[in-house]
Amino acid sequence: MIEPQDTRRTPVPREGELLKNAEIPSAVNDVLATTPILDIHTHLFPPAFGKLGLWGIDELLTYHYLEAEFFRSADTTPQEYWALSKRAQADAIWKTLFVENTPISEATRGVIAVLKAFQLPTDRPDLAEARSFFSAQPIEAHVQRVFQIAGVNRVVMTNDPLDPQEASFWLRDVASHPQFRAALRLDRILCNWSTHWQMLAGQGYRVDEQATGKSAAEVRRFLMDWHARMQPVYMAVSLSDTFEYPEDTAGNRLLREAVLPACHELDLPLSLMIGVRRQVNPLLRLAGDGVGRADLRALENLCREFPENRFLVSVLSRENQHELCVYARKFSNLMPFGCWWFLNNPSIVEEITRERIEMLGTSFVPQHSDARVLEQIIYKWSNTRRTLAHILSERYVLLLEDGRGVMRGDIRRDVTRLLHSNAQAWTSPRAPLSDAPTQTL
């Protein structure tokens, strides 16, 4: 967590005291540094999921964001790279992006920030010291330390019931972890029904390839069964830039007749992440996806047709951000969240967050980490706090100039909403929106 400013020399104004112009930035920094974060979308797993939970230097370096950068600077083809062991891949990325080049991109800087957080050297020609540090960490204690450094108290995972590896843990009644909550991911059902319906059929659900007849009712039964197993805080799907609704497709039929009714019955939001173009370059595997501008009229139709459902929405294209804010002003069952993937760079985060504050006040969730490797929450959240610090300070100074005094208590209330309680209210519907972060998600 970022250190609160040194306040020994100047007395800190109390919660209810009006701040002077010059006191605002340090009050904002201090509140940001001490407000626990609820990270609403990650790909992390707790230790009980064994090898599915990624952590340590080799995983950090082989993050797909870095692999995409590696292929631009290395003299290695994707085929050659995929043939290497994970350790050799990490060595190659370190050598190319951190030794032969200066790590000034966002993803490379992130690795540097993680090494620094553990007081590890950031400029060595090899990874020996970092490897020996990470391999000596007992995992549960390491998870606690990482959460503490990152200032995060809960994360939401991404849980795919049709991923055979992951499902095997759930089917064995894997122990739940208080800091990791589930999200029931539906991509294989909603975006790829034709290649996955047989998995459901094989498990005894009476579904067919066209998603007709009893299929919707049976998918709903499948969701209820997995809800009982995972206790997810929302259901989720990542959709392509060409997503349209209402279009007569198997995915839309299942969305309308199975997923949304199940979400309504369970009082769970549906998370829609819209705008990915999967496998633009399949040679790059996970790093091979791209982005496209989506037609958000599909979202408008969903919010209007299902006013009793709640939609958590992130859009991948920069060009869709303003429309998303406009829709959020029209539909209170829509909660914009995060600056996703290619948008998670300070210049773009800054632009989107400013736009959201100007149009929505504090009624949105500014960021999620999308971390795939545990330690990434350290740098991703420290970057978010850094960007928020100066946007918020600027807003309060403007407010002061316009004639309304600002107290530390105002800042705490706003930051709590942004980093914690908006996400909490949307992921635990029975909990009232409170100013004070609580220990439950």
Residue 88 contact among ligand RAT, Zn ion, none, beta carbon within 5 to 8 Å by kind: none
Shortest distance in whole angstroms from residue 284 CB to Zn ion:
17
Shortest distance in whole angstroms from residue 191 CB to ligand RAT:
10
> 64, 49, 6: which is closest to 283 by C-alpha?
64
Are the CB atoms for 297 and 339 separated by under 8 Å?
no
Q: Which residue's C-beta sits nearest to ligand RAT?
A: 238
Residue 341 contact among ligand RAT, Zn ion, none, beta carbon within 5 to 8 Å by kind: ligand RAT
Q: Which residue's C-beta sits nearest to Zn ion?
A: 370
Shortest distance in whole angstroms from residue 238 CB to ligand RAT:
4
When the beta carbons of 238 and 416 are compared against ligand RAT, the nearer one is 238
When the beta carbons of 24 and 276 are compared against Zn ion, the nearer one is 276
For residue 191, is it left (φ>0), alpha (ψ between -120 and 50) or beta? alpha
When the beta carbons of 154 and 372 are compared against ligand RAT, the nearer one is 372
When the beta carbons of 183 and 219 are compared against Zn ion, the nearer one is 183
Helices (H), ranges, 306-406? 321-330, 346-360, 376-402
Residue 408 contact among ligand RAT, Zn ion, none, beta carbon within 5 to 8 Å by kind: none
Rounded Cα distance between 390 and 28, Å, is 8
When the beta carbons of 188 and 372 are compared against ligand RAT, the nearer one is 372
When the beta carbons of 162 and 216 are compared against ligand RAT, the nearer one is 162
Q: Which residues contact 375 (CB under 8 A, 6 or more apart)?
A: 55, 56, 60, 114, 117, 146
Handedness of CA 69, 75, 79, 83 (dihedral sign): negative
Shortest distance in whole angstroms from residue 3 CB to ligand RAT:
29
Residue 335 β-bridge partners: 312
Residue 372 contact among Zn ion, ligand RAT, none, beta carbon within 5 to 8 Å by kind: ligand RAT
Q: Which amino acid is at 377?
A: I
Shortest distance in whole angstroms from residue 173 CB to ligand RAT:
26
Q: Which residues contact 244 (CB under 8 A, 6 or more apart)?
A: 295, 298
Rounded Cα distance between 213 and 215, Å, is 6
Give the chain's length.
441
Residue 171 contact among ligand RAT, Zn ion, none, beta carbon within 5 to 8 Å by kind: none
When the beta carbons of 25 and 269 are compared against ligand RAT, the nearer one is 269
Three-state DSSP at 91 gives helix
Shortest distance in whole angstroms from residue 138 CB to Zn ion:
28
When the beta carbons of 306 and 341 are compared against ligand RAT, the nearer one is 341
Residue 294 contact among ligand RAT, Zn ion, none, beta carbon within 5 to 8 Å by kind: none
Q: Which residues bind ligand RAT (CB under 6 A)?
A: 43, 158, 238, 273, 286, 341, 370, 372
Output 392-395 pairs: Cβ under 8 A, ≥24 positions apart.
392/28, 392/32, 393/24, 393/25, 393/28, 395/357
Shortest distance in whole angstroms from residue 372 CB to ligand RAT:
6
Shortest distance in whole angstroms from residue 181 CB to ligand RAT:
16
Residue 385 contact among Zn ion, ligand RAT, none, beta carbon within 5 to 8 Å by kind: none
Are the CB atoms for 59 and 376 separated by under 8 Å?
no
When the beta carbons of 289 and 370 are compared against Zn ion, the nearer one is 370
Shortest distance in whole angstroms from residue 262 CB to ligand RAT:
20
When the beta carbons of 26 and 369 are compared against Zn ion, the nearer one is 369
Shortest distance in whole angstroms from residue 110 CB to ligand RAT:
13
Q: Which residues bind Zn ion (CB under 5 A)?
A: 370
